[in-house]
A and B are shown apart, each in its own frame.
Chain A
Amino acid sequence: MKKLRAFIFVFALLAWQGCAGTPRVPENNPLIPLGKANVQAVFEENEGLEILPEDAKELRDFYRGGVQQKAKAEKEFREKAYPEAMKLYRSSNEFFQTLIQYIDEDAAAYNLFEGTDILFFPNLLTADNHLKIGLICQTMGRDWRAKYNWKRALSLVKKSLSTERTEWGLALEQELLSLLAAQQK
Chain B
Amino acid sequence: MRKKIGQVRQLLIALVGTAIIWGTQGAGLILAQASAEQSLFHTYAKPIAAPDFSLENLQGKIVHLKDYRGKAILLNFWATWCPNCRQEAHSFNTLQAKYLSQGLEIYRINTKESRETILKFTEKNSIATPILLDKTGKVGRLFGVWAHPTSYLVDRRGMVRYRVVGQADWAGREALRVIHLLLGEK
Interface residues of A (CB under 8 A from B): 2-3, 5-6, 9-10, 13-14, 17, 45-52, 54-55, 57-61, 64, 101-102, 112-116
- Taking a contact as CB atoms closer than 8 A, the residue among B14, B35, B46, B143 that contacts A49 in the complex is B143
- Taking a contact as CB atoms closer than 8 A, the residue among A5, A47, A113, A115 that contacts B146 in the complex is A113
Q: How many inter-chain residue pairs (CB < 8 Å) link A and B?
A: 83
Indicate whether B61 reaches chain A with its CB closer than 8 angstroms: no
Assembled-state Cα–Cα distance A6/B8 (Å): 10
Assembled-state Cα–Cα distance A60/B36 (Å): 12
- Taking a contact as CB atoms closer than 8 A, the residue among B22, B42, B111, B143 that contacts A57 in the complex is B42
If the complex has contacts A58-B165, A102-B32, are A113 and B144 also in contact, measured as CB distance less than 8 A? no
Name the residue of chain A whose CB is nearest to the CB of B42: A57
The residues of A that contact B48 with a CB separation of less than 8 Å are: 49-50, 52
Q: Are A114 and B81 in contact (CB under 8 A)?
A: yes
Indicate whether B18 reaches chain A with its CB closer than 8 angstroms: yes
Interface residues of B (CB under 8 A from A): 6-7, 10-11, 13-14, 17-18, 21-22, 28-29, 32, 35-36, 42, 44-46, 48, 50-51, 79, 81-82, 111-112, 137, 140-144, 146-148, 160, 165
Q: Are A113 and B42 in contact (CB under 8 A)?
A: no
Q: Are A61 and B29 in contact (CB under 8 A)?
A: no
Q: Are B79 and A114 in contact (CB under 8 A)?
A: yes
If the complex has contacts A14-B21, A49-B160, A112-B147, are A2 and B142 also in contact, measured as CB distance less than 8 A? no
The residues of A that contact B17 with a CB separation of less than 8 Å are: 10
If the complex has contacts A48-B143, A57-B36, are A2 and B10 also in contact, measured as CB distance less than 8 A? yes
The residues of A that contact B28 with a CB separation of less than 8 Å are: 101-102
Assembled-state Cα–Cα distance A10/B21 (Å): 11
Q: Are A60 and B81 in contact (CB under 8 A)?
A: no
The residues of B that contact A101 with a CB separation of less than 8 Å are: 28
Name the residue of chain A whose CB is nearest to the CB of B152: A49
The 9 A-B residue pairs with the shortest CB-CB distance, nearest first, are A48-B142, A60-B146, A54-B45, A6-B10, A48-B51, A10-B14, A13-B18, A112-B146, A49-B143
Assembled-state Cα–Cα distance A17/B6 (Å): 26
Assembled-state Cα–Cα distance A132/B154 (Å): 37
Q: Are A116 and B165 in contact (CB under 8 A)?
A: no
Name the residue of chain B whose CB is nearest to the CB of A61: B144
Assembled-state Cα–Cα distance A5/B48 (Å): 60
The 24 sampled A-B contact pairs (Cβ below 8 Å) are: A6-B10, A13-B18, A14-B18, A17-B18, A47-B141, A47-B142, A48-B51, A48-B141, A48-B142, A49-B142, A52-B48, A55-B42, A58-B165, A59-B32, A61-B144, A101-B28, A102-B28, A112-B146, A112-B147, A113-B79, A113-B82, A113-B148, A115-B111, A115-B137
The residues of A that contact B144 with a CB separation of less than 8 Å are: 46, 48-49, 51, 60-61, 64
